[in-house]
Amino acid sequence: SYELTQPPSVSVSPGQTANITCSGDKLGDKYASWYQQRPGQSPVLVIYQDNTRPSGIPERFSGSNSGNTATLTISGTQPMDEADYYCQAWDSNTGVFGTGTTVTVL
Amino acid sequence: QVQLQESGPGLVEPSQTLSLTCSVSGGSISGGNYYWTWIRQHPGKGLEWIGYIYYSVTTAYNPSLRSRVIISADTSKNQFSLKLSSVSAADTAVYYCASRKAFRDSTHFDLWGRGTLVTVSS
């Protein structure tokens, strides 16, 4: 089965840039989406189609996808960005989520 | 604006069938505009896609759960449902319903319910 692998955790200082990677076989040939999940809340879509922000998502969130790796970048990270982040893609008509990354803003 | 709300028993006995319903407001589930989806999250763990129903009849399931899952739709109530049979403690999770727009290149879940915790225990 298809797998998407993320680092378990990423730490970033306020105002700095956080990069969260998502690795999967030929992921660049698929569309990657990213979700933010704060404790006790439902996931929220922050990036779709590799690099498109839904309405209402701050410009500091951006994405890229090439080769075997998709990346979510949070520029000028704020304390409110502390959350779990999941990538997601499709393989053979099956939805697949990444293993998840906890972003800590120190 | 479309909104989703899960409902169902919070406790299910082992070997029984878990049944959940997602009520959809602000949109019709029979319109063919969305893939109506179930996703779950084990306590403290990541997200797992369970499957979807489209146009009230077309379904797709996670291969790891396919033998135990049925997703169906009740257009008269504007609801879609999840049935997971022969449950065990490993099925204890928060279950979310979500939607994905049904147009080309739409691969993301843009709407989610609040989720409902289902515990499998005797």
Please, are residues B21 and B8 in contact by the beta-carbon 8 Å criterion?
yes
| Average confidence (pLDDT) over B71-100 | 97
The residue of chain B nearest to residue A45, with distances taken between CA atoms, is B110
Residue partners of A29: CB distance under 8 A and separation at least 6: none
Chains A–B, number of C-beta pairs less than 8 Å apart: 60
Helices (H), A1-106: none
A94 Cα to chain B: minimum distance (Å): 6
> In the structure, what pLDDT confidence band is assigned to residue B19 with cuts at 50, 70 and 90?
very high
Residue A44: list chain B partners with CB under 8 A: 112
**B49 → closest Cβ in A44, A95, A99:** A95
What value does the mean pLDDT of chain A take? 97
Residues of chain A with pLDDT under 70: none
B37 Cα to chain A: minimum distance (Å): 10
Give the Cα separation of A59 and B75 in Å (integer). 39
pLDDT of residue B105: 82
pLDDT of residue B18: 98
> In the structure, what pLDDT confidence band is assigned to residue B98 with cuts at 50, 70 and 90?
very high
Instruction: List own/partner pairs for B54-61 with CB under 8 A and 24 or more apart.
Output: B54/B102, B55/B30, B56/B29, B56/B30, B60/A93, B60/A94
The residue of chain B nearest to residue A1, with distances taken between CA atoms, is B63
pLDDT of residue B27: 87
Using a CB–CB cutoff of 8 Å, tell me whether B107 touches chain A.
yes
pLDDT digits (tens, 9 = 90+) for A68-83: 999 999 999 999 999 9
Which residues does residue A21 pair with via DSSP β-bridges, in sequence order? A71
Res B6 pLDDT > 90 = yes
pLDDT digits (tens, 9 = 90+) for B102-122: 988 899 999 999 999 999 999
Residue A95: list chain B partners with CB under 8 A: 37, 39, 49, 52, 62
The residue type at A35: Y
| Average confidence (pLDDT) over B81-91 | 98
pLDDT digits (tens, 9 = 90+) for B49-79: 999 999 888 999 999 999 999 999 999 999 9
Residue partners of A63: CB distance under 8 A and separation at least 6: A32, A34, A47, A50, A51, A52, A70, A71, A72, A73
Residue with tokens 């082992």: B14
The strand pair at A83-91 and B111-112 is best described as unpaired
pLDDT of residue A54: 96
Torsion over CA: A88, A89, A91, A93 (sign): positive
pLDDT of residue B57: 87
Interface touch B49/A48, C-beta < 8 Å: no
Please, are residues B103 and B70 in contact by the beta-carbon 8 Å criterion?
no
